[in-house]
Structure 1
Amino acid sequence: MSEYLVETENLCKEFKGFAAVSNVTLKVRTGSIHALIGPNGAGKTTCFNLLTKFLKPTAGTIRYRGQDITDLPPTDVARRGMVRSFQISAVFPGMTALENVKLALQRARGGSFDFWRSRSALRAYDTRARELLDDVGLGDFAGTMAAEMPYGRKRALEIATTLALDPDMLLLDEPMAGMAHEEIDRISALIRRIGKNRTILMVEHNLNVVADLSDEITVLARGEILAQGSYRDIADHPGVREAYLGV
C-alpha cells in the first residue's frame, strides 16, 4: 500500500474568476487522522467537495491509492472506498437507527428493488447493523426514531451509516459542529477508535479536538496552503497565528 492514500497536485477551483482553492498540493498519509483547518472562507469545504467529486476542479489532479480519480463521478469515488459526511447530519428522520444502518448496508445488493420485498428479505443485515450501532455507542438506540435522537447521537448514527459502506477513508466535515461538551468528548473518542484501522481527513474548527486527534494538520488561508505539520508546528507558525487565531 502507498504511503499516501490521497494526494492532490496543484488543485485549483475557480468560481467566475474567484479562486476558492489555489494550487493545493495535499498528501494524506495512509492510516492517519489528518485535519484540514483555517478561518471561514479558507476553502476547506471546497477542498472536500473536490476530493469527493461534488465539484470538478478547474485545474490539478487528485490521486487515490496512486490512481488518478480527477475525472471520476462521486459514486465511483465512493465505491473505491472514499466516503464523506456533511456539516448537516444526513440521516432519515422517519426511520429507526437500525433501519438507517440497514439501508446503508443494502448497497452491497446493488440495484435490487428491496423496497418491494418483505421485511424478512432484509433480516440478514440485522446482526451487522447492530454491530455497527454498538461500535458508535448506539446499541441502546436501535429502535429509536432518528428524529427523536439528540444531535450528537444523530452524528454518531451518520458515522455508523458511513461505516456500513466499509470505507478505507472517511472525510468528516465539521463533525463537532453544534455539539455540547459531553457530545464532543463522545464523538472524539469514536473518531479515535475508528481511526485505528482507517484513514480520516476532517475539517474541524475546534482546535482542542484538532490537537487531541490529529497526526498531521494542513492550514488553509484564502484557498492556499499556509502551513502543514503537527499541531505544535502549526501553533507556532506566525502566519497561522495571524490568519487563523487573529494574533
Structure 2
Amino acid sequence: MSDDIILETRKLTKEFKGFVAVNQVDLKVKRGHIHALIGPNGAGKTTCFNLLTHFITPTSGQIVFNGKDITGEAPAHIARRGIIRSFQISAVFPHLTVLENVRVALQRKLGTSFHFWKPERSLHTLNERALELLRQVDLESYADNTTVELSYGRKRALEIATTLAMEPELMLLDEPTQGMGLEDVDRIRSLIKKVSANRTILMVEHNMSVVASIADTITVLQRGATLAEGPYAEVSKNPAVIEAYMGSASVELKGAH
C-alpha cells in the first residue's frame, strides 16, 4: 500500500441472509483528498460506511488503514486510530449551549467524559480549544446559544465541529447536506472544503452539485458493486453511470456541471 493511500478496501463484501449488500468493493482513498461515494438508493453506500467503522462485520474482504489491517478491530479502536464518522460523536445535545457541545467532544478525546464529579470550572481549560473549533465552522458568535435554537444547517456545522474535536485523520461524512435548503447546502459545502485542508474526507452524498464542486475522486456504487471511479468530469459522462441514475438522479448528474 503506497504512502499516498490512507484507506483501502480489498474485495470488501457483506451478505445479509443471501442478499449481497456490498460486493467485492475495492476502494482506494488518497491522503488529503475528498473522496465521494455515490450511487442510487440501495446501492450499498451506507452499508459500506458501516463496514469501515465496524458497526457491522464484513462477510469477507479486508480494510486497511495507514498500511494496517483493521478489518477485525472494534469501533472504539478504529476511532482511536483516527477514523471518525460524523454521527458517532456528533449527535448534538439540544439543551446544551453550542460551546458545551464541543467541550463534551473534547472531553471524549481526553478520556474524561465520565468525570461528572469534577467541578465545572475544570472544564473551562477546554473553552479556548472549543472556541477555536467553532471559529473554524463559523459558529463562534453562537457559542452561548442553546443548540436547539440553531438552524438545521448550523446544527450540521456544529456536528462537524464536534467531529473535528476528535482530531480525525480520516473524516467519514454521511449525507452532510441531506434535507437542507440552498443557503445551508452552500454553507456546508464551503465548510467541508475548508476543513479538508489538513485531513482526508470520505463522504456519502446525494447532492451532485456538492460532489461535482468539492470531490477529488468519486466512486459510484450500484447494487453493492463498484460501477465507476474517477474525477467528476469523467464519471458523469460514463454511460453506465447515466443509465444507473435514470429516473432518479440523472437530471442532477447533468445539471451539476
Q: CA deviation at 1:112?
A: 6.2
Kept in 1, the 8 Å contact 2:104–2:113? The answer is no
Q: Which residue matches 1:44? A: 45
Tell me the amino acid that sits aligned with residue 15 of structure 1: F
Are the aligned partners of 2:35 and 2:217 in contact in 1 as well (CA < 8 Å)? Answer: yes
Contact residue 9 and residue 60 of structure 1 kept, 8 A: yes
Is residue 96–residue 142 contact of structure 1 (8 Å, CA) maintained in 2?
yes
| Counterparts of 1:68 and 1:82, CA distance in 2 | 13
AA aligned opposite 2:50: N
CA shift for structure 1 position 113: 3.7
The residue aligned with 1:118 is 119
* Cross-structure match for 1:244: 245
1:86/1:174 contact within 8 Å kept: no
In structure 2, stretches of 5+ residues that fail to align are 251-257
Aligned pair in 2 of structure 1 residues 230, 150: CA closer, same or farther (>3 Å)? Answer: same
Instruction: Give the stretch that moved more between structures: 162-171 or 113-122.
Output: 113-122
Q: CA RMSD of the aligned region, Å?
A: 1.4
Partners in 2 of 1:128 and 1:60 — Cα distance? 39
Match of 2:55, SS state, is coil
Q: Structure 2: which amino acid aligns with 1:123?
A: H
Would the aligned equivalents of 2:44 and 2:222 in 1 still touch at CA under 8 Å? Answer: yes
1:182 aligns with 2:183: yes
Give the aligned residue type for 1:162.
T
What is the TM-score when the length of structure 1 is the normalising length? 0.96
Structure 1 letter corresponding to 2:147: A
**Residue correspondence of structure 1 range 34-73 to structure 2 within 5 A:** 34-73=35-74
Q: Which runs of 5+ in 1 are unaligned?
A: none
Match of 1:24 in 2: 25
Partners of 1:90 and 1:48 lie apart in 2 by: 17
Q: Which residue number in structure 2 is paired with residue 77 of structure 1?
A: 78
Q: Which residue of 1 aligns with 2:142?
A: 141
Separation in 1 of the partners of 2:109 and 2:192? 24
Q: Which amino acid aligns with 2:144?
A: G
- The letter of the residue matching 1:227 is A
- Report the secondary structure of 1:158's partner residue: helix
- SS at 1:42's partner residue? coil
**Partners of 1:186 and 1:97 in 2: how far apart?**
18
Q: Which residue of 1 aligns with 2:255?
A: none
CA-to-aligned-CA distance 1:192-224 (integer Å, 9 cap, x gap) = 011111100000001000000000000000000
Q: SS of the residue aligned with 1:21?
A: strand
How big is the shift at 1:114?
2.2
Q: Give yes or no for contact 1:44–1:203 (8 Å, CA) kept in 2.
A: yes
Amino acid in structure 1 at the alignment position of 2:206 = H
- 1:230 counterpart = 2:231: yes
Report how many aligned residue pairs link the two structures. Answer: 246
Would you say 1:157 and 2:148 are equivalent positions? no
Deviations 1:3-60 (A, max 9, x none): 1100000000011110000000000000000000000000000000000111100000
